[in-house]
Amino acid sequence: MRVVYGEVFKLHDPNGIPHAERPERLERALRALEPLREHLKFVEPAKGRRDVVERIHERAYVELIEEESRDREAHMLDPDTYVSSGTFMAATAAVTSAYTAAKAAAATLEPHLVLARPPGHHAGRAGRALGAPTLGFCIFNNAATAVLGFRKAGKERVAVIDFDAHHGNGTQEIFWKDPGVLHIDIHEDGIYPGTGSVEDVGGGSAAFTKVNVPMPHAAGDPDVEEVIEAVIIPAVERFSPEAIVVSAGFDGHHFSPMAWLRYTSNTFYRLGALIRELAEKYSEGAFVAVLEGGYERDLEIGLRSFVEGVLGLKLSHEEELTRKAGLEHVLEKVKDVVRRVPR
Ligand SMILES: [Zn+2]
């Protein structure tokens, strides 16, 4: 597995403003992956390209971020999201790295993990997406440019699987009318950003290519397993993508202070193994995973377990399975959507 990482991703820095989304996250991530180092090949990030950013985001928004980053101390752009002098450079490198990682994955057929920040899945075309109150720590949408990278490599139909605890409202907005993107999003119901209901299935010719699974509070490992069997596998099978992008957020882990989900290492390991399997079946093994949330031990445990799952290694951080919260009611509705995913 290739890991795209560079110091440039630390330039987005709250510089003393207390904030969970800070450069140290990447040090945690690297520490977590250290024992797996012999299985990973580290590659340098891409140099940021403005044209790549502007394929996803409106120019006025890109200019706003550039302007806010210009010779400025770190300051809040909205109640959740800060901008610092290095933000434009870091965020531009992040989206461009996701784009080039997808092209590289398509060429080498190797899984790619883009260990970049700031995260991206809440960022829509013009910033805040689908009426969300804030950007939720995100600046530019990394998962979205990974999709474009695969398209550049001739892979038109792309599945985006987002298992961050929060709904990927930016990604949903960007691809709302795009029938070539199957977006499956598993997130906690009723928390930020408040979007991602089962009824949101995509617009126009893209109807039923957006599959939202709002999980009940305290959903545990068995609930995710049910979603994998009843939603992810059949939806991907119907859609039959040529490439896979993963919005890998680890804040659903029960240690996370950001959500009330109760996933353990077992769930992230299972998701890693699942993505590997799906990629082997549909895209000759190639996929791109981009880092979304996960902040403290949730990030360390979740990321390492996910990568162990991808690599088919033994799960090193053993945790007891958490209990089922029960999501029959939601699942019945989601299954109706899955049955209508276009073939
Ligand atoms: Zn999140």
pLDDT in tens, 18-70: 999 999 999 999 999 999 999 999 999 999 999 999 999 999 999 999 999 99
Tell how far the Cα of 122 is from the centroid of ligand 1, in angstroms.
9
Q: H or E segment at 127?
A: strand 127-128
Tell how far the Cα of 29 is from the centroid of ligand 1, in angstroms.
16
Q: What is the pLDDT of residue 13?
A: 97
Helix (H, G, I), strand (E, B) or coil at 175: coil
Q: What is the pLDDT of residue 72?
A: 84
Q: What is the pLDDT of residue 323?
A: 97
CA-to-CA distance for 225 and 336, rounded, in angstroms? 18
Tell how far the Cα of 196 is from the centroid of ligand 1, in angstroms.
13
Class of domain 2-339: alpha beta
Structural domain boundaries of the chain?
2-339
Q: What is the pLDDT of residue 265?
A: 98
Kindly provide the b/e burial profile for residues 177-190, where b requires at least 16 CB atoms within 10 angstroms of the residue's own CB.
ebbbbbbbbbbbbe
Q: What is the pLDDT of residue 71?
A: 79
Tell how far the Cα of 304 is from the centroid of ligand 1, in angstroms.
17
Q: What is the pLDDT of residue 68?
A: 96
Tell how far the Cα of 249 is from the centroid of ligand 1, in angstroms.
6
Q: What is the pLDDT of residue 60?
A: 98
Q: What does residue 135 show for φ and ψ, rounded to 5 degrees? A: -85, -5
Q: Which residues are catalytic?
A: 122
Q: H or E segment at 144?
A: helix 142-152
CA-to-CA distance for 257 and 144, rounded, in angstroms? 27
Mean pLDDT, consecutive 10-residue segments, the chain of 343 residues?
Answer: 98 95 98 98 97 98 97 93 97 98 98 98 98 97 98 98 98 98 98 98 98 98 98 98 98 97 98 98 98 98 98 98 96 98 96
Helix (H, G, I), strand (E, B) or coil at 111: strand
Indicate yes or no: pTM above 0.85.
yes
Helix (H, G, I), strand (E, B) or coil at 185: strand
Helix (H, G, I), strand (E, B) or coil at 42: strand
